[in-house]
Amino acid sequence: MPEKVKVHEKKQKWYGQRDINVMLGSPLNYNYSIQLKYYKKIKPLLERMFKETEKQISYLFESDISDKFFNEQYAQDASIASQAKIVTNKLISKFGWLFNDKARQISESMMNATMNVSKSNLKDSIKQLSGGLSIKTGFLTGDLREITKSIVEENVSLIKSISDRYLYNVQKAVLRSISFGNGLKDLIPQLSKFKGITDRHAKNMALDQTRKAYNSINRARMEKVGIGKFKWIHSGGGQLPRKDHIEMSGNIYSFDDLPVIDKRTGERGIPGQAINCRCLMVPVIEFSE
């Protein structure tokens, strides 16, 4: 059973002399290197998939359905549309397996690194809040195990979906180009577009999921040591900042009564939970508590 947060006598006196009833820790900042490592582990899988897809599609249109790209079991008079379906289905199967094979290792690596950063950053934040007293933050409770397990499973699923999304779009574009377009001439810009979209999606997913994991772990650990409130800090970044998140900045909220983070859906949550949210948490203790 971890100890509860205590406040150094000098800190209590300092607050009392200034008639302050709220104690704040330091902001729980994200670690960009973990986010970047997550993306960099997905990047080689993407490059391999892009390269082979472009190669196979080019062969398909330039070979006039040559034997070297299809198994002998398929009739040589098969239409290019049916052969295109065969080629793209093979790519879907191959890279679905590859992404699935690597997804858990990548997700667990991110989670382990995030757990360590949470332990260190939260310890420093509580130390500032309490006036120099230290408390263990590296514990792993049953609730926290379930949270980390859930986050890993979600990330495994998201990584696996990257190849499916990209290759199903490629398949549809290939079939459309055969039916209505000019073959490879129409496909080249489409493949370039899908490549850019998929790469950005993977990077944003890595950043987003790491932030979500970090603050979910921080929340569980803060509650376990008796910190039930946090201050919302808007990141100040992003090209399209959420107006409601700007308005929430500086406000103090309770984990028992979370704020609405998406007015459109009514979803409630903590900083970093909404998609592309870069807002931060600051641990808070009120003297009334």
Q: In this structure, what token pair is assigned to residue 282?
A: 């600051």
* Block residue for tokens 């986010």: 35
- Length of the chain measured in residues: 289
Of 206, 226, 204, 213, residue with least CA distance to 270 = 213
Alpha helical stretches, state H, 63-183: 80-130, 142-180
Cβ 99 vs Cβ 162: under 8 Å? yes
pTM of the full structure: 0.82
Nearest 5 degrees, angle CA 232-CA 152-CA 143?
65
The C-alpha atoms of residue 221 and residue 205 are separated, in whole angstroms, by: 24
The C-alpha atoms of residue 271 and residue 230 are separated, in whole angstroms, by: 10
The C-alpha atoms of residue 101 and residue 79 are separated, in whole angstroms, by: 33
What are the pLDDT tens digits along the chain (289 aa)? Answer: 445 565 555 555 545 444 456 788 899 999 999 999 999 999 999 999 999 999 999 888 876 543 443 344 344 435 778 888 999 999 999 999 999 999 999 999 999 999 999 999 998 998 887 666 566 666 667 788 899 999 999 999 999 999 999 999 999 999 888 877 677 778 889 999 999 999 999 999 999 999 999 999 999 999 988 889 999 999 876 667 788 888 899 999 999 999 998 888 889 999 999 888 899 999 998 765 4
Query: What is the phi/psi pair of residue 20, to 5°?
Result: -105, 130
